[in-house]
């Protein structure tokens, strides 16, 4: 495992542990991915589209975004409680967060979503 302190190499020692930032970064990645996967599932499966129809005038978009926001915020609270006083290896957390962000971006891009559904 990489030494978490390595990221501050050449700089004065950090005063605040990076755990709080790590929790915010990873949960933001998960939140973005959640929008992508919920949107794709709602588009691919009619029963899920009906499930996501929380507010009929807005349609499934209301449930997709509400679900993703809830996942993001709940995860952020949980990770913050667990990590806020810790220094963590940020390389792996950044990689995971950017992968999730990228996957989420791909899933909401209609030609990619349609391709996955075989349309």
Q: How many helices (H) and strands (E) does the chain have?
A: 5, 0
Pick 3 or 47: Cβ nearer another protein: 3
Strand partners for 55 = 59
| CB of 28 vs another protein, minimal distance in Å | 4
Task: Say if CB 30 and CB 72 are below 8 A apart.
Answer: yes
Which residues in this chain contact another protein in the complex, by CB under 8 A?
7-8, 11-16, 18, 20-22, 24-25, 27-28, 31-32, 35-36, 39, 55, 57-59, 61-62, 64-65, 68-69, 72, 90-91, 93-94, 97-98, 101, 104-105, 108-111
In the complex with another protein, the residue whose CB is nearer, 15 or 47, is 15
**Can you tell me the distance from the alpha carbon of 100 to that of 25, in angstroms, rounded to the nearest whole number?**
11
Q: Minimum Å distance from CB 105 to another protein?
A: 7
- C-alpha span between 116 and 26 (Å, rounded): 25
Length of the chain: 119
């Amino acid at each position: 495992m990489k030494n978490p302190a390595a990221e501050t190499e050449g700089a004065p020692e950090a005063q605040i542990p990076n755990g709080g930032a790590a929790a915010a970064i990873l949960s933001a990645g998960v939140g973005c991915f959640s929008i992508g996967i919920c949107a794709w599932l709602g588009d691919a499966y009619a029963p899920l589209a009906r499930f996501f129809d929380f507010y009929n005038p807005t349609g499934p978009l209301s449930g997709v975004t509400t679900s993703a926001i809830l996942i993001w915020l709940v995860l952020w609270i949980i990770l913050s409680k667990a990590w806020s006083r810790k220094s963590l290896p940020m390389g792996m957390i950044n990689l995971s967060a950017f992968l999730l962000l990228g996957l989420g971006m791909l899933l909401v891009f209609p030609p990619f979503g349609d391709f996955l559904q075989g349309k």
